[in-house]
A and B are shown apart, each in its own frame.
Chain A
Amino acid sequence: MEFSPWFVNKKKRFKKSFKWWRISCIYKWQSHWKLKNFGSTKKLQYKIMGGFKMFKRKMSVLILSVLLILTVSLTGCGSKSNSTNAAKDNSNSNGPVNLTVWTFVDTHQKFYEDAVSRFKQNNPNVNIEVKLMEYDALYDKLAVVAQAGGEGGPDLIDVEEGAFGRFLKGDIVFEPLNTYVEKANKKDAIAKGRQALYTYGGNIYGLEHALCPVSLLYRKDIFDKAGIQMPLKTWDEFIAAGKKLKDEQGVYILPVSATAKRNNLIGALYRQTGLDVADKDGNPSINTPEFIKINQMLQDMVKKDKIAFGYEKSTDATKAIQDGKVVADIRADWGAGMLKNDVKELSGKWAVCELPIFKDGDDPTSCWGGTGCSMLKSSKNKEMAWKFMEFAQLTKESAVKRYELTNLFPPLFEAYDDPKLQAGDPYFGGQETGKFYKKMGEVMPAQNPTWWRNLYDEAFNKHFVDFEKGDITAEQFAQSLEEELKTLIEKDK
């Protein structure tokens, strides 16, 4: 605070008071004069400012309010107005029919776009838009769309088997396809195990893209050099071969995940024994001798015998395969397609064979993954959507095209005799992989659909670290897994 005696600011103070006195005089005078001459201040203002300033002000208010209305309508109702337009188009029977397909893999997008162009030749009155989204985003969006009663949602959607379970609780958003399939007389067109994956409570909710048979891919050159006769009959023989390869050539026989991602491989091997994490009635069946044995075997391969390469990221495994550190892998048909893409330089050195078994009666193959095409209940053009779905999923032409474009082996029986599927694959040294996959498809086990499959992943995630570190045994692991899963299911019911 500055201090000053009263006389210092006298001049200033006088100036200030004079200023206000002056203004008051002006206003007094002005209002009197205005009222006398004009009767209203508005007219005077126009007079004084020549009208221009007022015009400017009015215009700016007008522009601002227009902008305001625009922003509100854009933010609030933008998407709604679009979808209502689309709905209008759809209800109009004379205009073109609009369909939307959502998918999460670029290979599927490629296939769908090809299918659309072929479909349009016979059905020119239809527009089909194929939208590619990120995996998680797709299902998050589907959840939101379902909450909104299907507004702005797709007609057809690709549902991965891992995500399918989430949507099975209560009121299901997918359209049951039973009547459509029966009408088209395609009930037995698809491999049974694949159909079961998307069948819940007797209703078919999706049509599979790929057969997904699991096989053993191996480096033929290295196995021949070691003098190992393929295919191997049992897993014990496989482990012995692994030890031989490790001792003689210093290479790993298998990549095995060191994280909870291992549950995919465990699941595939478990289904080989005819069991599944969920039994036929949808109850957990985990604490079994088979499950314990598989876990122990994989753990020993990584930790005790050190014949398997334990990796943290799948890119590490790919790199190890590329470098020749790992000489075999267990993969489904789509995994083989990924291998072809990722490890191009080893083309011609690979071969495919069936999996070793644990005991007599086990399947020499298994199933791993899969994606089905589903129709939403909220679709406004179910007839046309089914027509396209049937064309894409249940015709020989599309199935063969899909195999050509994306290496997904079709689950459709009638396509198997096609020469394109029978041809030898140069990547696998000219081996007729199509024929092999067909043979595997006939004996392939099924995966039982349940709504709680992601809860199993959660429980697995929780207890696997302890097992991997060696803090608990395989028996304890299986037991705690089943207990955890049961409490989780109870909680979520």
Chain B
Amino acid sequence: MCFYITSFIREEDMLMNESHIEKKTGVTVNYKGKFSKLKKKSLPYLFISPFFLVYTLVGIYPFFNGIWISLNKQLSLTTSKYVGLLNYKNVLTDDRFWNSMRNATVYTCGSLFIILPIALFVALLVKSKKLAKYRGIITTLLFSPNVTSVIVVSMIFMYFLKKDGGIFNGVLGLFGVPPISFLTDPAWAIADLLILCTWKYLGINSLYFLAGLQNISDEVIEASLIDGANKVQRFFHITIPLLRPIMAFIVFQAIIGSFNLFGEPFMLIAGGAGAKDSMLFPTLFLYQQAFKKFNFGFAAALGYILMAFLLVITMIQMKFFKVKE
């Protein structure tokens, strides 16, 4: 008899929670196993606990400890003194901090208005029917710079951008342009980074756009064709509005990535800050303050100010893109 019953009940029904059954059937099921309820409830938490334990250790604890550090001034490597919000004041009145923020802002504008439009253009190109056959190869090629190490890319670009014997100057020389000192002239610093990052981050951004484009259903486009929309109208009135969710994500990523840019400028100028601090980025400044000057309090305060700044920007941006979830 009992075997008959068990074969009659499907596995998922067996695994159903008591309260679940009660809700569906209106029958109160009464289990009397010792601690069974507690065990059943706690087991899933045990399974997900490794992540949360590690996260508490390396995420939450440092976050609060960092706040404490930012309220102290480092007197020497081993001693510090409570100074209240002095570090925050020092960061906000520091010329080099604002200089780094200016650099980051200029770079962000560059990445938003140069890298992203190019990425969108490339994505549209890849989406076009003529290239459909080669889409796999093209996307692979586009993605490959993204998996190349920042160190390697920066080293190679350093040689490309050199004044004597660099490829860029070699090509410009063919047109009679005198050699430009890309790496030492402060006016070229952000441009160098944009050249490098366009190459490195074009692929991943166009892949995001491609994913967005593939989500636009053909029916909408067909409807617009029937209504007599031309290519330009279709792009501005159909493609762009429908890309909004993915666009919000890409812009969000680009802004945060720009303000947190570290590896590329660090490698291009070999750990310094470039001529006249032209490649000083907030995170690079933070690193220098913490590990070159041992101003841990200052560096921590800088980190929190940067975080608050990015939070505000993100909130404004979410309003702008009308992201609800």
Contact = CB atoms under 8 A, between A and B. Distances in A.
B33 A170 contact: no
Nearest to B30: A31
Given A31-B29, A64-B46, A258-B184, A48 B2 contact: yes
B135 interface: no
Contact of A40 (B33, B43, B292): B33
Contacts of B31: 31, 41
Interface in B54-85: 54, 57, 75-79
A170 B163 CA distance: 43
A128 interface: no
B275 A171 contact: no
Contacts of A454: 292-293
Interface string A478-493: 0000000000000010
B27 A24 contact: yes
Contacts of A313: 162
B189 to A, nearest CB: 11
Contacts of A35: 30, 32
Nearest to A141: B291
Contact of A312 (B5, B78, B164): B164
Nearest to A64: B47
B162 A312 contact: yes
Contact of B24 (A20, A68, A464): A20
Contacts of B75: 169-171
A311 B85 CA distance: 45
B87 to A, nearest CB: 13
Contacts of A40: 32-33
A461 B272 contact: yes
A61 B78 contact: no
A469 to B, nearest CB: 8
A167 interface: yes
A462 B276 contact: yes
Given A24-B26, A316-B164, A171 B76 contact: yes
A41 B27 contact: no
B13 A41 contact: no
B291 A140 contact: yes
Contacts of B165: 316
B273 interface: yes
B9 interface: yes
A328 to B, nearest CB: 20
A149 B77 CA distance: 10
A414 to B, nearest CB: 35
A486 B53 CA distance: 48
A27 interface: yes
Contacts of A26: 5, 8-9, 13
Contacts of A461: 272-273, 275-277
A249 to B, nearest CB: 20
A380 interface: no
Contacts of A166: 292-294
B197 interface: no
A48 B295 CA distance: 67
Contacts of A41: 31-33, 36
B122 interface: no
Interface in A427-463: 454, 458, 461-462
A169 B76 contact: yes
A170 B79 contact: yes
Contacts of A72: 50, 53-54
A488 to B, nearest CB: 10
A30 interface: yes
B119 to A, nearest CB: 32
A80 interface: no
A159 B294 CA distance: 16
B291 A143 contact: yes
A139 interface: yes
B145 interface: no
B240 to A, nearest CB: 28
A28 B22 CA distance: 11
Nearest to A260: B275
B49 interface: yes
Nearest to B278: A465
B183 interface: yes
A375 interface: no
Contacts of B2: 33, 47-48
B181 interface: yes
A207 to B, nearest CB: 21
B21 interface: yes
A292 to B, nearest CB: 21
A147 B77 contact: yes
Nearest to A24: B25
Nearest to A312: B163
Contacts of A65: 46
A87 interface: no
B170 interface: no
Contacts of B21: 23-24, 27
B32 A39 contact: yes
Contact of B183 (A146, A172, A312, A458): A312
Contacts of A149: 78
Contacts of A316: 162, 164-165
Given A40-B32, A316-B164, A20 B276 contact: no
Contacts of B293: 166, 454, 492
Nearest to B13: A23
Nearest to B158: A313
A173 B77 contact: yes
Given A20-B24, A42-B36, A76-B57, A171 B79 contact: yes
Contact of A169 (B26, B30, B277, B294): B294
B283 to A, nearest CB: 15
Interface in A196-242: none
Contacts of B186: 465
B51 to A, nearest CB: 10
Q: Ordered nearest first, which 6 A-B pairs have the shortest CB separation?
A: A170-B76, A24-B25, A171-B76, A465-B275, A146-B77, A42-B33
Interface of B: 2, 5-6, 8-9, 13, 21, 24-27, 29-34, 36, 43, 46-47, 49-50, 53-54, 57, 75-79, 162-165, 181, 183-186, 271-273, 275-277, 291-296
Given A27-B25, A42-B36, 17 more contacts: A23-B9, A26-B5, A26-B9, A31-B31, A61-B46, A64-B46, A72-B53, A72-B54, A76-B57, A136-B271, A169-B75, A170-B78, A172-B76, A259-B275, A461-B273, A465-B185, A466-B276
15 contacts: A26-B5, A27-B29, A68-B46, A71-B54, A147-B77, A166-B293, A169-B75, A170-B79, A171-B79, A258-B163, A316-B162, A458-B273, A461-B275, A461-B276, A465-B276
